[in-house]
Amino acid sequence: MKTYLQEQLALALRALGVEPAGALALEKPKQETHGDLTTNIALVAAKSLGRKPREFAEQLVATLTLDPAIVRSVAIAGPGFINFTLAPSVFTRHCASILSAGKSYGKSTRGKALKAQVEFVSANPTGPLSVGHGRQAAIGDTIARLLEWSGYSVVREYYYNNAGGQMRKLAESTYARYRQASEPEFPFPDKGYYGEYIREIASALRERSGEALLAMTSEEALTVCQRFAEERLFTAIKQVLGRMGVVFDVFYNEDSLYKDGKIAEVIAEFRAKDLAYERDGAVWLKGTTIGLEQDRVIVKSSGEPTYRLPDIAYHREKFRRGFDLIVDIFGADHIEESRDVLAGLKALGLDAGRVAVVIHQFVTLMKDGEQVKMSKRAANYVTLDELIDDVGPDVVRYFFVMRSNSSHLEFDLNLAQEHSEKNPVFYLQYAHARIASILRFAESEGRYSHAFDPLWVESHAELLREPSEAGLAKTLMDFPEVVESASTSYEIHRLPVYLSEVAAGFHKFYHEHRVMSEDPDLTAIRLALCDATRIVLANGLDILGIAAPERM
């Protein structure tokens, strides 16, 4: 409809001696009373012509030639906005297109032949994933799904580091619990990991190795402990992500950047570009030269790189691997780091515009109005696994993406544990299941097969005359645009918000009108509207990684 109106507006403008500059803007009005689409083209054109906007708008509308089967009315509002109200059959006829497309409805080819990489979670294997990691997993996987729906070939990637001080503490903690099984007084390391999961790992290590570690040197024993703990934790991490339907294509080890000389290459390139210098035994990046507020240390005086350097090297490898789009999902504590990495990439001559950084805020678990903080397994935070046990993977995924990434998320456990339509994810699933039940009954009657024939639906769409019927069909028509908007802006909460509107529209229609009536044609066209709604709900839930049940 936008394309049709843009073409007609362009013809009218040319008839008035105005050559349109690019695509004419058409948007949905904020208020439904202002119609279905609105444009400010009269205000823009009148200013360039030195005309009064409202007078020019009246002249432009008078010049328009519009098909009354498409546009029901045109009105001028305010200083010269032109509002278009479309005929209800425009929306109801679109149900035929939804039925034809089926599971492909909402997909596009925007990213066809393009490769995208989405990096998310990327927690070092030192403990179970937290609920914060869970939000990142849901956001990252949903963005990956949106990009796939837009035609991209997507690689889901997990970046981790199994070296350094954190991993040393993991080894020491595991070894201490291993020794304490027979030597209760064996000291636990300062700032070690106190969670129950360490005891579980140490116990499993004893079952496998017995007391063999006691005959080793401490360094040999710590090496065994670290490898064993890392393997167990990564297995657990993959399992809990799998419970959410998140599967990674690549696990990229930061340590490989050192072993393969990638870190050294980046330092050498910065030096060659005169962007690195030494001071107080450390290597500094000339941050002020590349757009940062101050210079940054990239190699400490101890010879250890700061986190910025391997991250820059890692992203340089992403470019070398041929990704057309690189999406990084970070927590709010990584904002400054991401800016430094982008500046470093620009300094290396890479197109940082191909990197999209999505920042999400933190999660607070709430129960009975109070914050839930403690966990049996991790000691100082609630694990993602425990949360899934409490409310289920569908609820976890939905709650993590139903608010804007930039908003702090208060995860209401009381609401999440509701098995009723009060729970927003069940509200959507109940709508889908109810429609599936209606369609099963209709098919069992064997009289309404033409309800699923797109050609028949298109030719009988005018039978859907009631406001709630046209309103629902109008909402369904928006699905491809919502998917496109969410996938380009990475504001993925738009999809849950939209699906809630679809479910509300269906419930309004369902409560106001009987689907199955004595009129076979009216029954069939209403069944078609139901099936189109089912398709949109199923496709939207699929993008969110949530089940669309046939029965509940």
Alpha-carbon torsion angle 229, 234, 235, 241, nearest 10: 150
User: Which residue spans of the chain are classified as CATH 3.40.50.620?
Assistant: 115-158+249-360
How many Å apart are CA 194 and CA 31, to the nearest integer? Answer: 55
- Give the per-residue pLDDT at 50: 86
pLDDT (0 to 100) of residue 534: 98
Residue 378 has pLDDT above 80, yes or no: no
The residues of the chain that CATH labels 1.10.730.10 are: 92-108+421-543
User: Distance between CA 545 and CA 247 in Å, rounded?
Assistant: 11
- Of 38-47, 180-189, 326-335, the one with minimum mean pLDDT is 38-47
The confidence score (pLDDT) of residue 125 equals 95
The rounded distance, in Å, linking the Cα atoms of 181 and 310 is: 39
**How much is the pLDDT for 375?**
66
Q: Give the confidence band of 1 by pLDDT, cuts at 50, 70, 90.
A: confident
One of 1.10.730.10, 1.10.1240.10, 3.40.50.970, 3.60.150.10 is the CATH number of 92-108+421-543, namely 1.10.730.10
- DSSP states of 78-98: TTTEEEEEE-HHHHHHHHHHH
Rounded to 5 degrees, φ, ψ at 282 are: -105, 160
Residue 374's pLDDT is 67
DSSP H or E segment with residue 484? helix 479-489
Interatomic CA distance for residues 136 and 218, integer angstroms: 37
Residues 254-282, mean pLDDT to the nearest whole number: 95
Average pLDDT over the chain, rounded to an integer: 94
What integer is the mean pLDDT of 533-538? 98
5-14, 321-330, 332-341, range with greatest mean pLDDT: 321-330
With CA atoms as reference, report the closest residue to 139 among 501, 396, 482, 432: 396
Q: Which of 32-36, 96-100, 490-494, 543-547 has the lowest mean pLDDT?
A: 32-36
Going by the DSSP 8-state scheme, the letter that residue 102 receives in this structure is G
CA dist 232 and 443 (Å) reads: 50
Q: With bands split at pLDDT 50, 70 and 90, how would you rate the model's confidence at 544? A: very high
**Taking residues 259-284, what's their average pLDDT?**
95
Q: What is the largest CA-CA distance in the chain?
A: 95
102 Ramachandran zone, left/alpha/beta (phi>0; psi -120 to 50): left
Provide the CATH topology of domain 2-86: Gyrase A; domain 2 (3.30.1360)
Q: Are 296 and 347 in contact, with CB atoms under 8 Å apart?
A: no
The pLDDT, as a whole number, for residue 279 is: 94
Query: What is the dotted CATH code of the domain comprising 115-158+249-360?
Result: 3.40.50.620
Report, as an integer, the average pLDDT of 111-119: 97
DSSP 3-state assignment of 12? helix
Helix 131-149 and helix 520-543, axial crossing angle in degrees, nearest 10: 120
Read off the pLDDT of each residue in 292-320 and give the average, rounded to a whole number: 93
- Residue that wins the pLDDT comparison between 28 and 541: 541
Q: Which regions of the chain carry the CATH code 3.30.1360.70? A: 2-86
pLDDT in tens, 120-136: 999 999 999 999 999 99
Res. 532: pLDDT tops 80: yes
What lies within 8 Å, CB to CB, of 200 at 6+ separation is none
The predicted pLDDT at position 114 comes to 98
Comparing C-alpha atoms, which of 331, 283, 418 is closest to residue 140? Answer: 331
Whether residue 376 has pLDDT greater than 70: no
Average pLDDT (160-170) is 92
- CB contact at 8 A, 155 and 144: no
Q: Are 82 and 74 spatial neighbours (Cβ–Cβ below 8 Å)?
A: yes
- Alpha carbons 266 and 244: distance in angstroms, whole number: 37
pTM: 0.92
In terms of Cα–Cα distance, which of 367, 402, 397, 403 is closest to 384?
397
Least confident stretch, 31-45, 102-116, 197-211, 308-322:
31-45
Write the pLDDT tens digit of every residue in 496-528: 999 999 999 999 999 999 999 889 999 999 999
Rg (CA), the chain: 29
Q: How confident is the model at residue 164 (pLDDT cuts 50, 70, 90)?
A: confident
- Asked if residue 377 has pLDDT above 80, the reply is no
